Amino acid sequence: MRRLPKPFGRSPFAPLMERGEFERLVEESLASIPPRFKKLIENVTVMVEDEPPPGRNLLGLYHGVPFKHRGAGSYGNTTPDVIVIYQGPIERISRNPEEIKECVRDTVLHEVGHYFGLEEDELREIERAVRRARQGGKS
């Protein structure tokens, strides 16, 4: 998931979250995945890092072989796929703890979407639909 850079840098009022609390949000997001999808997720390590690689504007990153490209019996004895969630960028684009929580959830689901083989355009359409549903539910 890409983030848009803030033109004026980090706000001094932006929240900073303890790593343990942030990791708990990631765990909660993973736990909220519907069971029919969760049971298909295997051999994946999910971790939190402070920042993405230099020059990359990312909130999260999936690295591995997408589920739809795995064959029966052809994906054994391999290192785990990896999903990384980047705490710093998420905090910088969030104004409060609730926005951090929403952004973590959205980022985790985005990267899990990549695990299942969804492309950026498909994920963006899903994310737009989720945002519309959230806005509709708040009015």
How much is the average pLDDT of 3-14? 53
Cα gap 51→74, rounded to integer Å: 33
The pLDDT of residue 56: 94
Q: What angle do CA 49, 130, 86 make, to 5 degrees?
A: 5
pTM here is 0.81
How much is the average pLDDT of 28-56? 94
Phi, psi of 66 (to 5 degrees): -55, 145
Mean pLDDT rounded to a whole number for the chain: 86
Asked whether 87 and 48 are in contact (CB, 8 A), the reply is: yes
Of 3-12, 71-80, 130-139, minimum mean pLDDT range: 3-12
Q: Identify the structural domains of the chain with CATH numbers, from first to last.
A: 19-138 (3.30.2010.20)
Angle of helix 97-115 versus helix 120-138 axis, rounded to 10 = 140
